[in-house]
Amino acid sequence: MCLGFGLCVRSWLRAALSGAVTLALCATAVAEVTVTVNKRDHVVQGTTAAGLVRSLNGNPIRGDHGSAYASIHPTFNLSVKTKERGGLCRAEVGIRLHFDLILPRAASPGAMSSSTRSAWNSFVTYARNHEAWHQSSYTDCARRFVSRAERMSDKQCLALQGDIRTAFTSMKRECETRQLAYDRGQRASVAGMRLFSMARAQRRR
């Protein structure tokens, strides 16, 4: 999906990130959900607001639903182990949730004016917080699913596995709908950010 700023943005608000990448891997475990994050930096050229926005718009990355300024992509891996207990089959359920996270990084922050650097830093902070919301939301979807799935039962273990996997597919679809709704609600905030208003003013000169 268009994650991250992950908006399926209009052409004038298209996101873009270019350049070298730096990899960092971290892992945390919450209940039966294990989370790993692979973070990459996309370097953005420019020292003025207009130059930075031109670089962003000139090299869009491909999100799941279009171009994005920053991106987070989840991969869910489900584990189901069933066991019959007291005439009913129940399951131990786990999810390994991996995120590929891409955030913008300026190539030459030291060459920016103080006002441009402040606007850029605000933009990056917004991007980071936006992606953090998505990560938290996806993780919450996974945790809630595991809790529900471990309460499910059936007389047949094979049937229980099928029910859990069907519910897993539904959970991912519903969770994605939540992400898209959040992104739609953030469009006005992105368009009104100081970095973009400064860039528009500079282009009019």
The model's confidence at residue 150, banded by pLDDT at 50, 70 and 90, is very high
Residue 204 CB partners (closer than 8 Å, separation 6+): none
79 forms bridges with which residues in the sheet? Answer: 94
What percentage of residues in the chain have a pLDDT greater than 70? 85
At residue 120, the pLDDT reads: 98
DSSP label at residue 109: G
* Contact assessment for residue 123 and residue 195, using Cβ atoms and an 8 Å cutoff: yes
At residue 16, the pLDDT reads: 31
Indicate whether 202 pLDDT > 70: yes
What's the whole-number mean pLDDT along residues 17-42? Answer: 61
* Contact assessment for residue 185 and residue 7, using Cβ atoms and an 8 Å cutoff: no
pLDDT tens digits for range 87-96: 999 999 999 9
Indicate whether 145 pLDDT > 50: yes
Q: Where are the alpha helices (DSSP H) in 16-109?
A: 49-58
The least confident of 27-41, 54-68, 87-101 is: 27-41
